[in-house]
Amino acid sequence: MDRVALRGLKARGYHGVFPEERREGQTFVVDLVLGLDTRPAAADDDLAKTVHYGIVAEEVVAVVKGEPVNLIETLAARIAQACLKHEGVKEVEVTVHKPDAPITVPFDDVTVTITRSRV
């Protein structure tokens, strides 16, 4: 399986379990690795035979900006579902970064990574 990766998609969302997270929001960063067969697209040099990563990026940002959830695990699952709606995508790895998580000690990042595939 071939891979198409998008790294560092950024959007403001209102996800979290604390009221201030829901009220003030914060920036979330998403990395994606889409698994698909790119041979038909490469053979014909045809965008219609692969995944349009610009559209995927817009859809992922819309999920992050959309309905708030408590957990970034839930957010990652929703992003994976959106990616798998694209016909050619057979598998997706989603990493959601929450660099401004409400943690009381110094840290660089909090991430959740999931992998989902068509069953």
Does the active-site annotation cover 98? yes
Distance of CA 92 to the CA centre of its chain: 9
Catalytic residue among 49, 85, 90, 98: 98
d(CA 60, CA 66): 10
Catalytic positions: 98
